Amino acid sequence: MAKLVLSLDGDVLGYHFLEQGRFSIGRKPHNDMQIDDSSVSKEHAVILTVGHDQILEDLGSTNGTLVNGNVIKKHILQNNDVIEIGRYQIRYMNQKAQVGVDFDRTMMMVPLRRQGKGHGDTETKVAEQVDTAVSVARAANATFPLGGVKGLEGTHAGQTLELNRPLATFGKSGVQVAVINRRPRGYTITHVEGRKHPLVNGHPISEESYTLQEGDEIEVGGEKLEFFLKQ
């Protein structure tokens, strides 16, 4: 089980275990980890659990979130990463999140490419750059399918998003979030956050990843998307 060690100036203040899908960090008492300090925003950051892994996301905090000295927006946490929030340090400990253990889990999340009429190709912040050390050597010999989603309703209505990167997140943080993972054997969708699971063709997906097929309709966080594969 993943563990967080909270410290200030080298003094350990407490331990927290990541036992749930969403773990919030901030100044207000309702957060799972409350840090009552003016350098910390009311709702500063959140950690989302996907399988054995955790994704750290800054929630638009005033002073930002750092991992190993680098400012991040989203970051796939690796064992012994040091998170800096305000004046505090949080060490992430998870032996199952070692770099290079699983290609599908450790690839970087980078921005998708948006393709819209009259817009050309522009980067969209559906998934922010994740600053994590990964081995890309294995990718050289892997053949990946290429697909995307068409926005039918919600944030991406009328847009076509090419899923040309390993991970892409959809939905609304704090409400409902899903991750679409691009793998050599195809695309899968996984529920990450929210009481209700995303729908595929009108049916909620299970706790396990669901393999997407041509024409599948996805509903997550107020968005409706149609999945497609390029020939």
- What is the mean pLDDT for each group of 10 consecutive residues in the chain (231 residues)? 91 88 92 94 90 83 93 87 95 72 40 40 33 36 79 92 85 84 86 88 87 95 93 65
**Domains of the chain, each with CATH number or no CATH:** 2-94 (2.60.200.20), 147-229 (2.60.200.20)
Residue 52 pLDDT: 67
**Maximal C-alpha separation, the chain:** 57
**What's the CA angle centered on 114, arms 197 and 70, to 5 degrees?**
75
Residue 4 near residue 19 (C-beta atoms within 8 A)? no
Task: Give dist(CA 162, CA 147) in Å, integer.
Answer: 6
**What's the CA angle centered on 170, arms 131 and 153, to 5 degrees?**
150
Residue 68 pLDDT: 92
Residue 108 pLDDT: 38
Residue 133 pLDDT: 30
Residue 175 pLDDT: 84
Backbone φ and ψ for 106, nearest 5 degrees, come out as: -105, 0
Residue 223 pLDDT: 93
**What's the CA angle centered on 106, arms 101 and 108, to 5 degrees?**
160
Residue 190 near residue 179 (C-beta atoms within 8 A)? yes
Residue 124 pLDDT: 34
Task: Give dist(CA 231, CA 229) in Å, integer.
Answer: 6
Residue 129 pLDDT: 31
**Count of all residues that appear for the chain in the document:** 231
Residue 202 pLDDT: 95
Task: Give dist(CA 160, CA 162) in Å, integer.
Answer: 7
Residue 206 pLDDT: 84
Residue 21 near residue 48 (C-beta atoms within 8 A)? yes
Residue 199 pLDDT: 95
3 state SS of 85: strand
Residue 3 pLDDT: 92
